[in-house]
Amino acid sequence: MRIQIYILIFIVLTAYSPNKILTGQVKNQFDSIDEVIFYIENNSVEDNLSINYNTINQFEIDLINAVISYKTGDYNKTYSLLVEYLYDAPKNFIFNKYLSASARIIKKVDVLLELVNDKNNKKDYKLLTGLIKFDQTSYQAALENLQSVVIAGNGFIPLTIKLADNYRKLGDYKKATLILNDLENEIDKSNRYYPEILIAKGSLQFLSGNYENAKDLYAEGLSIAKELGNNIEVIKAELNLGIIKDILGSTSEAQSLFGNAYSLAKEINQKELEATVLSEWGVSLTYLTQPVEARNKYEESFEIFNTLNNYERMALTAINIGSQFLNINNYGAALKRYKLAVNLAGENPRTKMLAFRGLGDVYTNLSNYSNAIEYYERAKKIANKLKDQSAAAEINIGLGTLFYNLDQPEKAFEIILENYDSINVQTNPYLKAELNQKAGIVSLALSNFETAERYLSESIRISDTFNDFYSSILSNTFLGYAYISQGKVENGKNILGEQLNLSIEYDLNQLLGMQYLILAEALNGKAKYESLLSAENYSLKAGDKSNLAEIYKELGDYYLSINNADSAEEYYLKGILQIEHLYNSIAGSSNIQIDFFVNNSGMYDSLIKLYIDKKMYRKAFAVNDLSRSKNTLFNISKVKLSANKNDSLVNQYYDLFWMQANNLIDSSEGFKELQYLEEKLQVSPSLITLENLKNIIIGYTNNTKLKTDEYFLKYLISGDKIYLFVLNNSDFETIELAADINEVNKIISQVSPYYNSNLNPEAISFNKDLFAFKADNSHILFSKLFEPAIKKIPRGSKLIFSLPNELLKIPFEFFVLGYKEGGGNKISRARFLIEDYPVSYVPSYAILEKLQIPSHSNETVLIAGNPDFGVPSDNYTGQRKIELSDLYSRNINIAPLKYSEEEVETIESYFSNDILLIGSDATETNIISRLENSEIIHLSTHSFLFDENPVIVVGKDIENNGLIEPTEIAELDLNSNLVVLSSCKSGLGPLKGSEGIIGLQKAFFDAGARSVILSLWDVSDKHTAELMAYFYDYLSKGYDKADALREAKIKFISEVNPNPYYWAAFTLAGNSDKIEIREENSKIVLYFLFLLLLSTATIFFIKNKIRLR
């Protein structure tokens, strides 16, 4: 007997409007349980409404109540109502859908599967198991179960749509489309599932890059969904149409569609749809440069998905959040989100592809190019498997950009064009136009002007055909630039003239600024000046800092050419301000920052020369210091920031920092808040305003933190002239040296053949004889470079040198001040600078101050030496270097070091809290894993230069190849007070403009070390061991680092050998303060050992240290 019941369901019935729900054809009388559920799913559950439905059994009553409970967030009730019917194994799709979903949310999936597995006839649960596996993103297992249900003859519509969705998740868009096409042909448009089929097909077209087809299907699905009262599909259609509008640049329309979809999802209590809309809305807000609002949407979305345990959507939202963090240069947070997405993605290849691409972008910005390439390649592999040429092309644009930034335009060009032929201009015109445009721009960098013209012309043709006017104007502008670069000035001017008119018509201020700047290159005199003023005007309107920097440099040069130094200074300062802002906006990408500054440092050089000419030496000092080793200073500050445990404060700082760098702070309160956070987090102050920059330059050398016995000595080369700035805690002096840089370079080459530019020091193993130190020439070099200043510096004062690139490889310690009385050769009678003064080095005064800030103290000392290289132990080498032609060759022949083990064991005797790694224990994995917890790090091994880049050689193991490169060090989070690299040429590396040497010193500073001792040439194994023993002996006696190294060298000169080849290679860079040495008190140890022996017959005494053997 059929029982007629009345169920109170919370439903709101209203007419449809963009912000209201739909009623469609719904009536109070229902003919089937499916109609009741459909109505509940698609309407609100807020007001009471009596609905007539003649139900057949209690199961249907409980199913309706279960769905209502699910919509109101009572997932436990949903589960408890439905699980009672599990053993009846109903084939009802709705039952299985809500049982699976509620079990997932309340984390009872394992319990549910155990109940299923208790039954003998498991085939009854294929549908439920398939839905569970689908929710767990185990799509292959889900497919096997769902297919078996369909094959068994249970292929009703929602299951078949789910099966198609499963194929989509696995990346088989073709199979998914075939299933949906067949289903569409079988049902009428009046069927409530019809719009769901259309929208699902639209998503497949969208994922295949066919946006126009997708848009048509979404629009048709939206129209039919409204007619049928299918609010769920209305939300999906409006959401997807909003995404397409965003892609096409119609952001205001997109915002309206997202708003409609969100309101409707919230009103009908569809939490998963609500969260999905929030996530995509966040993407749209990112396009509108509203990062904080976007983050709020993402986080709200993520919390909903987290509550629902929807792993797939959590993964996608994590990717969106990661991308937002990436855009504001918070790479640590971005990395965390992308890695979370990888873990949550399960078997969804597209989600993994997006996460891998995001990781590639992060690692590119972190200058970890090996990891970046790995993740880009993994993303490409998935894209190729999905046969998603559009995604592969987009990944290649990122990969190509990476190689372009690595100054490898040939490789960039090859990668950008890899998928070129696969992108159909009809179905994906915008991507095709971008590929042509990027190829054209890279060709300009390669000076392949004919190739650049071809690709830029094709980009223009496509853009014009598909009405992408902005892309057309941009490509035309680069084409005009190509003509001017080739000397085809009139052709270039004609093209630029046409584009200027179009840019004015469409109010494209940024392009106008660029166009007038390019045009100025083809003009002279007053015409050039007026073109630059126009460029400035439009670039200011657009907030284009990059253009403004170029413009201000040109205007500064113009005013200098007409002898208006004051106006020139003003424009140079304006240009520097833009460069500083731009530099900050690419925070975290060391190589990109360095290359960027190399290309823009001319602004600083011009202002320095202006100040030198006007004898404004303090200002010249300040600007030079601001330009020296900027990336190192930036990274040291970043290390301090990353060590802060207040994540909320750090994220707040990153948000404001990014907004400031992108002209998004428009109130004095915002600036004050940023300055407050910088002070709180001990971050270097941002150069926010021109007045701020001027004040920093004026007060740069005031209130120094130098101690009374410290002298900071900065050398500056302007043109051919050399200037020496001498700064102490009470005075500032400038000395213009009589010798110019050409004369000094000639003398340097005569001090030792090692400095002869006609020789290749990498190809020659310099021993004592080949080094051939010339004491007289060293004395001449001293007289030219330092004697004018030394008379005013008391003997014993600490000398802290900041050197230009031309002098970086010269250890001033080996300057010969004069000769002692007595017999012997000149080297044995020489009085070296180190005998009168402790010496250290630092890249800049700003870095010196930053390195004075104490870091938290670690407990251990890491000492590693004489690694096992797999070579017979009697096959020793006298030097700590190796020679090879292939860095990653498996046949590197590395000789062991005879005195390295003795060295580290001697050093170990000074500490009671050390970890000693020698022989087979001195592997890369063992060493790297212990660096971050070490107060002092001492590595005694081989090192060498490969393609100018330094590499430390240790023992290889299963995980690592035994080659420690600077990039590996820079990724670490160190709090080390002292790092000693007791090996050959550890202080060398490639020179990169004002950044200086890009090597191990920079890497250790970047990672957080406060001081580093490295070598400048090939060193003797035996004599290095002796020097290091002396150094730690004095360090243990309470000498600070600079004094300890000085005393060690003096003792070595006196007792071992005065030849600078043996002792001058090792120099101290960074902080020179004392280190507390925790020595073992042997008497106390013996006393306690005696007591222990009295108390037990068998005793093992374990020294308070960790020693791996």
pLDDT in tens, 766-795: 666 778 899 999 999 999 999 999 988 999
Higher pLDDT, 717 or 49: 717
Instruction: Return the axis-axis angle of helices 630-642 and 590-600, rounded to nearest 10°.
Output: 150
Does pLDDT of 545 surpass 50? yes
Does pLDDT of 758 surpass 80? no
Rounded-to-integer distance, Cα 880 and Cα 894, Å = 10
The mean pLDDT value for 738-764 works out to 82
1056 shares a domain with 935: yes
- Quickly state the pLDDT bin for 658 (edges 50, 70, 90): low
- Choose the final residue of a domain: 498, 527, 542: 542
277-291, 562-576, 732-746: range with lowest mean pLDDT: 277-291
Residue in the block written with tokens 């010496």: 839
Handedness of CA 882, 883, 889, 890 (dihedral sign): negative
897 shares a domain with 917: yes
User: What pLDDT digit, counting tens, does each position of 103-139 carry?
Assistant: 989 989 888 888 877 655 555 788 888 898 888 878 8
Tell me whether residue 665 is in a domain: no
- Choose the final residue of a domain: 486, 510, 542: 542
The three-class DSSP label of residue 271 is helix
87-91, 238-242, 423-427, 914-918: range with lowest mean pLDDT: 87-91
The mean pLDDT value for 145-149 works out to 85
Name 976's Cβ contacts closer than 8 Å, sequence gap at least 6.
858, 931, 934, 935, 936, 937, 1004, 1008, 1009, 1010
* Cα 268–Cα 274–Cα 280 angle in degrees, nearest 5: 145
Name 781's Cβ contacts closer than 8 Å, sequence gap at least 6.
744, 747, 748, 751, 810, 815
Percent of the chain with pLDDT over 90: 48
Provide the 8-state DSSP code for 755: G
1031 shares a domain with 915: yes
Q: What is the pTM of this model?
A: 0.67
* Cα 84–Cα 88–Cα 91 angle in degrees, nearest 5: 110
Name 1062's Cβ contacts closer than 8 Å, sequence gap at least 6.
768, 1019, 1020, 1023, 1027, 1052, 1056
Phi, psi of 136 (to 5 degrees): -85, 5
Q: Please answer whether residues 755 and 777 qualify as being in contact, where contact means their C-beta atoms are separated by less than 8 angstroms.
A: no
Phi, psi of 1106 (to 5 degrees): -110, 125
Q: Residue ranges of the alpha helices (H) in 682-806? A: 690-698, 741-751, 768-771, 775-785, 787-790
What six digits make up the tokens of 558? 């113009």
865 shares a domain with 754: no
- Quickly state the pLDDT bin for 507 (edges 50, 70, 90): confident
- Quickly state the pLDDT bin for 666 (edges 50, 70, 90): low
How high is the mean pLDDT of the chain? 83
Does pLDDT of 1106 surpass 50? no
- Counting Cα atoms < 13 Å in the Cβ hemisphere of 213 gives 14
- Quickly state the pLDDT bin for 10 (edges 50, 70, 90): very low
* Cα 497–Cα 501–Cα 503 angle in degrees, nearest 5: 110
- Quickly state the pLDDT bin for 33 (edges 50, 70, 90): confident
Rounded-to-integer distance, Cα 16 and Cα 4, Å = 31
Rounded-to-integer distance, Cα 943 and Cα 949, Å = 10
- Pairing relation of β-strands 798-802 and 839-841? parallel
- Quickly state the pLDDT bin for 370 (edges 50, 70, 90): low
pLDDT number for residue 986:
93
pLDDT number for residue 1031:
97
The mean pLDDT value for 495-501 works out to 94
Higher pLDDT, 467 or 833: 833
Does pLDDT of 64 surpass 80? yes
Does pLDDT of 1084 surpass 60? no
pLDDT number for residue 422:
87
Total of domains in the chain:
4
pLDDT number for residue 13:
25
Percent of the chain with pLDDT over 70: 83
pLDDT number for residue 1048:
97
- Quickly state the pLDDT bin for 1099 (edges 50, 70, 90): very low
In this structure, how many other beta carbons lie within 10 angstroms of the beta carbon of residue 123? 13
What are the strands, taking DSSP E only, across 1057-1105? 1066-1070
Structural domain boundaries enclosing 405? 388-542
830 shares a domain with 785: yes
* Rounded (10°) CA dihedral 250, 253, 254, 255: 120
Nearest to 903 by CA among 1001, 1020, 790: 1020
Nearest to 1072 by CA among 1046, 1037, 1052, 1033: 1046
Rounded-to-integer distance, Cα 1012 and Cα 1072, Å = 10
Q: Please answer whether residues 841 and 1002 qualify as being in contact, where contact means their C-beta atoms are separated by less than 8 angstroms.
A: no
Name 32's Cβ contacts closer than 8 Å, sequence gap at least 6.
none
Rounded-to-integer distance, Cα 388 and Cα 209, Å = 8
Rounded-to-integer distance, Cα 1056 and Cα 830, Å = 15
Alpha-carbon distance values, 478 to 12, 453, 474, 492 (Å): 58, 9, 6, 9
The mean pLDDT value for 811-831 works out to 91
- Choose the final residue of a domain: 511, 542, 573: 542
Residue type, 396: N
462 shares a domain with 402: yes
pLDDT number for residue 21:
30
The mean pLDDT value for 196-220 works out to 90
421 shares a domain with 517: yes
* Cα 90–Cα 93–Cα 98 angle in degrees, nearest 5: 95
Q: Please answer whether residues 196 and 233 qualify as being in contact, where contact means their C-beta atoms are separated by less than 8 angstroms.
A: yes
Name 172's Cβ contacts closer than 8 Å, sequence gap at least 6.
none
- Quickly state the pLDDT bin for 212 (edges 50, 70, 90): confident
406 shares a domain with 376: no
Does pLDDT of 534 surpass 90? yes
Does pLDDT of 1093 surpass 50? no
Q: Which helix (H) or strand (E) holds 890?
A: none
Tell me whether residue 571 is in a domain: no
Nearest to 452 by CA among 471, 475, 433: 475
Rounded-to-integer distance, Cα 576 and Cα 580, Å = 6
Tell me whether residue 1025 is in a domain: yes
The mean pLDDT value for 246-253 works out to 76
962 shares a domain with 819: no
Tell me whether residue 371 is in a domain: yes
Higher pLDDT, 945 or 879: 945
- Quickly state the pLDDT bin for 1107 (edges 50, 70, 90): very low
Tell me whether residue 799 is in a domain: yes
Tell me whether residue 822 is in a domain: yes
Tell me whether residue 410 is in a domain: yes
Does pLDDT of 1092 surpass 50? no
The mean pLDDT value for 176-204 works out to 92
Residue in the block written with tokens 């060295």: 903
- Quickly state the pLDDT bin for 553 (edges 50, 70, 90): very high
pLDDT number for residue 280:
86
Higher pLDDT, 994 or 1107: 994
CATH number at residue 451: 1.25.40.10
Find which of 149-158, 340-349, 528-537, 954-963 is predicted with most confidence, using mean pLDDT: 528-537
Tell me whether residue 43 is in a domain: no
Q: Residue ranges of the alpha helices (H) in 752-852? A: 768-771, 775-785, 787-790, 826-829, 845-851
- Counting Cα atoms < 13 Å in the Cβ hemisphere of 918 gives 22
519-528, 590-599, 871-880: range with lowest mean pLDDT: 871-880
Higher pLDDT, 741 or 655: 741
961 shares a domain with 998: yes
Q: Please answer whether residues 850 and 876 qualify as being in contact, where contact means their C-beta atoms are separated by less than 8 angstroms.
A: no
Q: Please answer whether residues 877 and 895 qualify as being in contact, where contact means their C-beta atoms are separated by less than 8 angstroms.
A: yes
pLDDT number for residue 44:
86
329 shares a domain with 425: no
Instruction: Specify which residues 945 forms β-bridges with.
Output: 950
pLDDT number for residue 1090:
32
400 shares a domain with 350: no
Does pLDDT of 308 surpass 50? yes
User: What is the C-alpha end-to-end distance of the chain, expressed in Å?
Assistant: 84
pLDDT number for residue 428:
76
Rounded-to-integer distance, Cα 1071 and Cα 407, Å = 34
CATH number at residue 1050: 3.40.50
